[in-house]
Amino acid sequence: MTDNKQSQAYYDDFSTGYERPRGEGYHRLIDDLEMDVMLPLCRGKRVLEVGCGTGLILSRLAAEADEAVGMDLSKGMLKSARERGLSVAVASATQLPFPDNSFDVVCSFKVLAHVPDIRSALSEITRVTRPGGRMVLEFYNPWSVRYLAKRLAGPQPISDGRTEADVYTRWDSPLELPKLFPAGVQIEGMRGVRVFTPAAFVHRVPMLRDVLAIAERRAVDSPLRYFGGFLIAIARK
């Protein structure tokens, strides 16, 4: 099975239960921290989300942007996005079906870590971003508590018969990220999400979840951001 078909099958299976934990607790906090970075950049802009899934993030972008478009490899995921009335297309991150210089802002969360040919994906993202436009792109960070926890816990189930081991996953450190982008792209900053949280379930513990939520919000732009489990690069074309 090719990488694209393997990933498509994985996320098609994942789509049936993907949203069950997403509206509360840890998952809501992570979404909110990502949006704190993204929303100020997308207001009044034409925005593309690469790997929009069921449209949870894209729907929030659409409420602020002049126009918001999404794409995803998984038809199963996009079924929910279409039901939300969002503008989406089935496509691969390495072959975006848009003309050059189409978007003011291109974003991607929790997707690029699962793309083997990352340089092709970043080249495509750069191609469809207009000159002077921004790219807000999230990567998995090996300098993190999350990385250690994943290594200790092993692959977790995501659906009947499938685990996280069934999809390719890459980890790129803050030092490695600038080397992945095409020539001429400038990384203007990095934000760190999930610096302190060792596992999602700790956000179900009363009081501890409140302390962690405060700590995570403060860490996003602090020197500790380079140890975030999710590292967000903000780049300009």
Q: Rounded to two decimals, what is the model's pTM?
A: 0.90
184: three-class secondary structure by DSSP: coil
> What are the structural domain ranges in the chain?
3-236
The distance of Cα 48 from the centroid of its chain, to the nearest Å, equals 12
Q: How many CB atoms lie within 10 A of CB 216?
A: 22
Taking the CA atoms of 116, 96, 9 and 62 in sequence, report the sign of the dihedral they define. Answer: positive
Instruction: State residue 15's pLDDT score.
Output: 46
- Please give the sequence-ordered ranges of beta strands (E in DSSP) within the chain, or none if there are none: 46-50, 67-72, 87-90, 103-108, 129-140, 157-159, 162-163, 186-193, 230-236
Mean pLDDT of 209-229: 97
Which CATH number among 3.40.50.150, 3.60.20.30, 3.10.20.30, 3.60.20.10 corresponds to the domain 3-236? Answer: 3.40.50.150
Question: For residue range 148-190, what is the model confidence (pLDDT) as tens digits?
Answer: 999 998 877 766 677 777 789 999 999 999 999 999 999 999 9
CA distance 140 to 111: 9
Question: For residue range 81-130, what is the model confidence (pLDDT) as tens digits?
Answer: 999 999 999 999 999 999 999 999 999 999 999 999 999 999 999 999 99
